[in-house]
Structure 1
Amino acid sequence: MTAKTALPEIYVSTDVETDGPVAGRHSMLSIGSAAYAPDKTLLGTFSANLETVPGLMADEHTAKWWATQPAAWAACRLDQEAPAAAMRRYVAWLKALPGRPVFVAYPAAFDFPFVQWYLDSYADENPFGYAVIDIKTYAMAVLRRPYRACGKQAMPADWFDPAPHTHVALDDALEQGALFCNMLAANLARR
């Protein structure tokens, strides 16, 4: 076993806010990550609001949704950074974690493509590689139910910590990270 594989996994719960549904066509407005040890110890957080990418256009339907979320919109437009600066800072933060980062999201199919595109475009590296966990897929395995029957409404109440879902990237990353760690503990307890 090499030293690299001996490092513990760090679950990096990540949420992004965007101006459309497609990475590379639409801009990531905000990223929030919360790094958790498997025992739910919060090891650190990262957040950044990003400037939009020149040449990428906002999606009309997403803009209409943002109009219904004025507080979250205002939060993701504060203190904007150039994408290159933010993503280099993100890579440095990921590399400083005491283990190997695993990307965790709900749904990972939305969040990871944006993070991957921004890392590849602006930081020239992706510390996650393709180590990605989708929370709903993990729920499918733990609950032993079909994927479409594993939404949050089907999950046990004790998997949820009292945390708001605000559409502010870091808040939502903390919320879903705690959810994932609670699922992990429930799964391990069944062994």
Structure 2
Amino acid sequence: MSYIMVDIESDGPIPGDYSMISFGAVLVNNELDTTFYGKLKPISNNWISEALAVSGHTREETMSFPEAKNVMLDFKDWIQANSKGRPIFISDNNGFDWMFICWYFHHFIGENPFGHSSRRLADLFCGLQKDTFAKWKHLRKTAHTHNPVEDAMGNAEVLLLMKNEMDLKISLK
């Protein structure tokens, strides 16, 4: 199994009515040297200015991004080329990130290479601490900038720290 840390940026709260603007992925291994970055042309005429502003892109800029189907096909190919065994989706906020990635995969290419489930980094950390309110974001080395590759990288660093220093039983292939 290969863990792939994912982070997305969007211009609204839900896929379909709004658009995923960009996403980043990091193959979780000791090197953290295998990444994917996708920028996607909006699929809806709806957007929320404040949500889009988080991504650092303007609406005009996003209109020149590649078509979503092509980006999702490229991401599927990247996952297949870089994961050993079943790829496992993990993110900081999988309720949000998974919702977009899963919807886009099914909507544009008819399948999701991650299958039907995902993992949440914070839940793993809280379980290790035996505290459902345990704070973990201070453990990131890479700053959280809303660049989705950088954000995924910071989260992957925390997962490695949990494995290497906190005795999380996890196999990273």
Measure, in 2, the Cα distance between the counterparts of 1:164 and 1:105: 16
Look up the SS of the partner of 1:114 in the other structure. Answer: helix
Measure, in 2, the Cα distance between the counterparts of 1:20 and 1:66: 7
Supply the AA of the counterpart residue of 2:123.
T
Supply the AA of the counterpart residue of 1:152.
W
Residues 9, 21 of structure 2: 8 Å contact kept: yes
2:82 aligned partner: 97
Measure, in 1, the Cα distance between the counterparts of 2:79 and 2:23: 13
Supply the AA of the counterpart residue of 1:165.
H
Supply the AA of the counterpart residue of 1:42.
L
Q: Which string of whole-angstrom CA distances, capped at 9 and with x for unpartnered residues, describes residues 73-122 of structure 1?
A: 26x84961100000000000101114121111011111001000000011
Question: How many percent of aligned residue pairs carry the same amino acid?
Answer: 23
Q: Which string of whole-angstrom CA distances, capped at 9 and with x for unpartnered residues, describes residues 123-176 of structure 1?
A: 221111134110111111111002xx12336xxx6xx24312110111111111
Q: Which string of whole-angstrom CA distances, capped at 9 and with x for unpartnered residues, describes residues 35-86 of structure 1?
A: 113xx2325111111000045x113xxx22544x5x8326x84961100000
1:134 aligned partner: 120
1:86 aligned partner: 71
Q: Which structure: larger Rg?
A: 1
Match of 2:11 among 3, 8, 19: 19
1:171 aligned partner: 150
Look up the SS of the partner of 1:150 in the other structure. Answer: coil
Question: Could you say if the C-alpha distance between residues 152 and 66 of structure 1 is closer, same or farther in structure 2, counting changes exceeding 3 Å?
Answer: farther
Look up the SS of the partner of 1:51 in the other structure. Answer: coil
Runs of 4+ in 1 over 3 A off after TM superposition: 76-79
Look up the SS of the partner of 2:98 in the other structure. Answer: helix
Supply the AA of the counterpart residue of 1:28.
M
Give aligned pairs, total: 166
Residues 87, 118 of structure 1: 8 Å contact kept: yes
Residues 7, 151 of structure 2: 8 Å contact kept: yes
Q: 1:30 and 2:22 equivalent?
A: yes
Residues 91, 123 of structure 1: 8 Å contact kept: no
What's the TM-score, normalizing by structure 2? 0.85
1:188 aligned partner: 167
What's the TM-score, normalizing by structure 1? 0.77
Measure, in 2, the Cα distance between the counterparts of 1:79 and 1:105: 27
1:162 aligned partner: 141
1:4 aligned partner: none
Measure, in 1, the Cα distance between the counterparts of 2:25 and 2:57: 18
Residues 14, 105 of structure 1: 8 Å contact kept: yes
How far is 1:177 from its partner?
1.1
